[in-house]
Amino acid sequence: MNRRKFIKTAGLGVAASATLAAPAIAQSGEIRWRMTASWPKSLDTLFGGCEHLAKRVSDMTGGKFQIRPFAAGEIVPALQVLDAVAAGTVECGHTAPYYYIGKDPTFAFATAIPFGLNQRQQIAWMEFGDGRTLMNEFYKDYNIVGLTAGNTGAQMGGWFRKELKSVADMKGLKMRIGGFAGQVLSRPGLELVPQQLGAPDIYPALEKGTIDAAEWVGPYDDEKLGFNKVAEYYYYPGWWEGGPQLDLMVGMRAWESLSAEYKAILSAASFETYLWTTAKYDAQNPAALRRLIAGGAKLRPFPRDIMAAAWKASNDLYEETSAKNAKFKKVYDNWSKFRDEENRWFRFAEGSFDNFMQSVSLQPIKRG
């Protein structure tokens, strides 16, 4: 809970890796890495974050440490970043760890689980709670090290072709929805049919009617991906992604080859990218939302009974998953205690300030 802890977790076991053999690559003076991303080039906040991270590492090393980002599909598909890094096909990758819950649901804590942490709480748990320590312990089995390297902020609930009047309207809907949320939404009482698709595949599926609904991030990205052209109702909040984090996954061998200086530089560039990504979304989303509504999008809050059913279904799922999976339980117990403490405090200074400021803002955005 102090500076040393942050550095230790940021530096990811410097003590352990410092005892390894001399870093052969670093000593040659020039390092060239490839970074495979889960994002298409068109998303200048997510893929732009990869470019920002690489540029900053280059700036800090006078061009001696070069990382080249590749978009989804250039080396491997969007949802195979972990596999490519674990196998050593590339040195690192930028992705949302919850894409890999098929391997183990524990991955989700490094991004978001439904009714989870907001952007501030996520980094607080990762760096001053036990988040990063627990996740890197878990990542060891996959031969990777994770650096905190992005966050979108709270997302929107996505685009629906039909208006949702109550929880009954969720039943049977085919929806593109990432991570753990699909499991929640397919439970009794909700019974939606979740689909996991990478960004480039969502629009065609929605256009053809293969799916009835889709969520991605928020106004700025969603406008770029064109979802408003094929679905009219835009729901909030994305209760399954209150502050989803992105990781730079680094292959263990590549990480251990770095000098202590380059490890510090790579992790500082990653932390900066966490801040950069959220700030860019926050700056761009307001105008994008206005454009979407001017173009016909109808902004709607999820009905209360959907929120209540999803909250109950999420808690039930976490209990069941904890009973079956000891790794998940270990992280969940730590995480849920931290989350509850955060929300008890956030309602006072932060929550009441934000609510006041939102209540006095003039010319509110009309909901369409």
**278, 283, 289, 291 alpha-carbon torsion, rounded to 10°:** -140
Query: What is the SS3 string spanning 208-276?
Result: HCCCCEECCCCHHHHHHHCHHHCCCEEEECCCCCCCCEEEEEEEHHHHHCCCHHHHHHHHHHHHHHHHH
Residue 292 phi, psi dihedral angles, 5° rounding? -60, -45
Question: Taking CB under 8 A as the rule, does residue 349 contact a second copy?
Answer: yes
Q: Give how far the C-alpha of residue 211 lies from the chain's centroid of Cα atoms, to the nearest Å.
A: 22
Question: Taking CB under 8 A as the rule, does residue 311 contact a second copy?
Answer: yes
Q: Which of 33, 69, 96, 127 binds a second copy (CB under 8 A)?
A: 127
Question: Taking CB under 8 A as the rule, does residue 23 contact a second copy?
Answer: no
From the CB of 322, what's the least distance to a second copy, in Å? 17
Contact 39, 46 (CB under 8 A): yes
Residue 314 phi, psi dihedral angles, 5° rounding? -65, -50
Residues in contact with a second copy, shown as a per-residue x/- string from 88 to 107 under the rule CB under 8 A: --------------------
Token representation of residue 151: 């966050």
Q: Which of 74, 301, 319, 323 binds a second copy (CB under 8 A)?
A: 301
From the CB of 80, what's the least distance to a second copy, in Å? 26
Question: Taking CB under 8 A as the rule, does residue 321 contact a second copy?
Answer: no
Q: Which of 189, 329, 346, 368 binds a second copy (CB under 8 A)?
A: 346
- Pairing relation of β-strands 233-236 and 31-37? unpaired
Residue 339 phi, psi dihedral angles, 5° rounding? -55, -45
From the CB of 288, what's the least distance to a second copy, in Å? 9
237 prior amide bond cis, ω within 30: yes
Question: Taking CB under 8 A as the rule, does residue 294 contact a second copy?
Answer: no
* Burial degree of 272 (CB within 10 A; 0-12, 13-18, 19+): middle
Q: Which of 219, 244, 251, 303 binds a second copy (CB under 8 A)?
A: 219
Residues in contact with a second copy, shown as a per-residue x/- string from 176 to 205 under the rule CB under 8 A: ------------------------------
Q: Which of residues 241-270 bind a second copy (CB under 8 A)?
A: 242, 259-261, 264-265, 268-269
* CB nearer to a second copy: pick between 248 and 269: 269
Q: For the chain, how far is it from start to end, CA to CA, in angstroms?
A: 46
Single out the segment in contact with a second copy by CB under 8 A; choices: 98-106, 127-135, 181-189, 317-325: 127-135
Q: Which of 118, 195, 257, 322 binds a second copy (CB under 8 A)?
A: 118
From the CB of 87, what's the least distance to a second copy, in Å? 29
Q: Which of 38, 61, 95, 322 binds a second copy (CB under 8 A)?
A: 61
Q: Which of 39, 160, 216, 276 binds a second copy (CB under 8 A)?
A: 276
Token representation of residue 355: 């609510």
From the CB of 102, what's the least distance to a second copy, in Å? 26
Question: Taking CB under 8 A as the rule, does residue 305 contact a second copy?
Answer: no
Question: Taking CB under 8 A as the rule, does residue 228 contact a second copy?
Answer: no
Question: Taking CB under 8 A as the rule, does residue 355 contact a second copy?
Answer: yes
From the CB of 26, what's the least distance to a second copy, in Å? 11
**CA nearest to 218, candidates 309, 280, 303, 163:** 280
Q: Which of 7, 25, 193, 252 binds a second copy (CB under 8 A)?
A: 7
Amino acid identity of residue 88, one-letter, is G
Q: Which of 125, 160, 216, 255 binds a second copy (CB under 8 A)?
A: 125
Question: Taking CB under 8 A as the rule, does residue 29 contact a second copy?
Answer: no
- Pairing relation of β-strands 174-176 and 213-214? parallel
Q: Which of 94, 132, 176, 280 binds a second copy (CB under 8 A)?
A: 280
Contact 26, 262 (CB under 8 A): yes
* Burial degree of 165 (CB within 10 A; 0-12, 13-18, 19+): exposed
Contact 85, 100 (CB under 8 A): no
